[in-house]
Every structure is written in C-alpha cells, then in structure tokens.
Amino acid sequence: MESSAASQPTILMRAEIPGRSVVTNIVLALAGSLLLALSAKIQVPFWPVPMTMQTMVVLLIGMAYGTRIGGATMLLYLAEGAMGIPVFAGPGAGPTYFLGPTGGYLVGFAAAAGLAGWLAERRPLGVRGVAVVMAVGHALIFAFGLAWLSALVGFEKAIAVGLTPFVAATVVKIALGTALLQAAWWGLTQRR
C-alpha cells in the first residue's frame, strides 16, 4: 500500500472534485462542520474534558480538504459555537465557552487541521505518512489544550485530567483515522 502512495494525492476532495466552485467549497465546509458537530456528541464522559471523536475528524477533514478548506471548516465550526449553536461536546455554547476547560483544544483544532492539510498537500501520504500526520496533529491539539487547561488548573492536574486518560484512545483514533482515509482513497480509485 505504501508503494502506491506515490501516485495518489491525499487531498481527497481535490481528487474527487477538480476545479470545484466557491459554492462547492461552502457546501464542503458546512458538511465538515456538521460532521465535526456530530463527532462531538460521540463521547465518553470525563472531567473536565470529555473524550470525543472530534480530534480524529478534525485531522481527517484537514487531510481530505487541504489547508484552506480544512482550516475554513474549523473556523466555521468555531464560529457556529461562538454564535451559540450547540456544536461543542459539552453543554452550552457562545463566546464564553472558549474560556472553559476545552477552549484550548478547540483553538488547537484549527491549527491541527491547517497543519494536516498543509502536510497532505506537500506530497502523497501512504499509510505510515497518514499515521504520522494524525499523531502530529493530535500532539498539536494536546499542546494547545494543555496550555489553556494548565492556566485553569495547573500543569500537573492538566496532564492528569487533560492528557493521561486520552493516550490509549488517541492511539486508537490514529489507527482508525488512518484506516478510514486509506479506505476513502481506495473507494475513490475503485469508482474510476
């Protein structure tokens, strides 16, 4: 599978919709923000940060859409939450939601999606490359999240409640995300 990566772009939407219009880009961003909102509701309750499928979806959107549309999708999602639409994992929404314990993670979504898209645009990514980008993207989300959470509860507690419980799940999300992206690319190549 790795050897065939040289002939495939990772940016799925570029492969599927060449020369797409502005309207198509808007529809993709809206669909991505809806998928991200749904992934926020798939959760295992932890305190103060719930475990969701969001980080995996953030990185898949970044790699599938590329830097510009992937980043725009994250900004749209954050704007929806800031406007009071209940798209986040926890109860509530609005601008003050970003001041809570998950605020740093949310900001990290935009940075991680942009980075994942940028890396995917640089060269085709095979299985190992996708897994590495997923791992780096998760690390970036954790960096933003833990920086903010540390300001609220202190560094040691932030690590204890905002990182340690999520390590095993993150490994699973990296594996699942890698498999999903490869399956999506395989599905596109089979349609041609």
Summarised one tens digit per residue, pLDDT across range 64-95 is: 898 989 999 999 999 999 999 999 988 888 99
Give the per-residue pLDDT at 136. 96
d(CA 121, CA 62): 10
Contact 61, 70 (CB under 8 A): yes
Q: Report the pLDDT value the prediction gives residue 19, as an integer from 0 to 100.
A: 61
- Mean predicted confidence (pLDDT) in 105-132: 91
Q: Rounded to two decimals, what is the model's pTM? A: 0.85
Range of the domain at 13: 3-191
Most confident of 16-30, 99-113, 117-131: 99-113
Q: Is the pLDDT of residue 172 over 50?
A: yes
Show the tokens assigned to 59: 């990185």
Residue 98 has pLDDT above 50, yes or no: yes
pLDDT at 184: 82
Phi-psi group of 152: left, alpha or beta (phi > 0 → left; psi -120 to 50 → alpha; rest → beta): alpha
Closest residue by Cα to residue 102 from 116, 111, 91: 91
Query: Quick check: 106 pLDDT over 50?
Result: yes
Residue 102 is given by DSSP the state T
Residue pair 82/34 in contact by the 8 Å Cβ criterion: no
- What are the φ/ψ torsions at residue 43 (nearest 5 degrees)? -150, 155
| Residue 126 structure tokens | 């095979």
The per-residue pLDDT for range 13-57, each reduced to its tens digit, is 554 455 667 888 889 899 999 999 999 998 877 666 667 899 999
Looking at the 3D structure of the chain, how many domains does it have? 1
CATH of the domain at 13: 1.10.1760.20
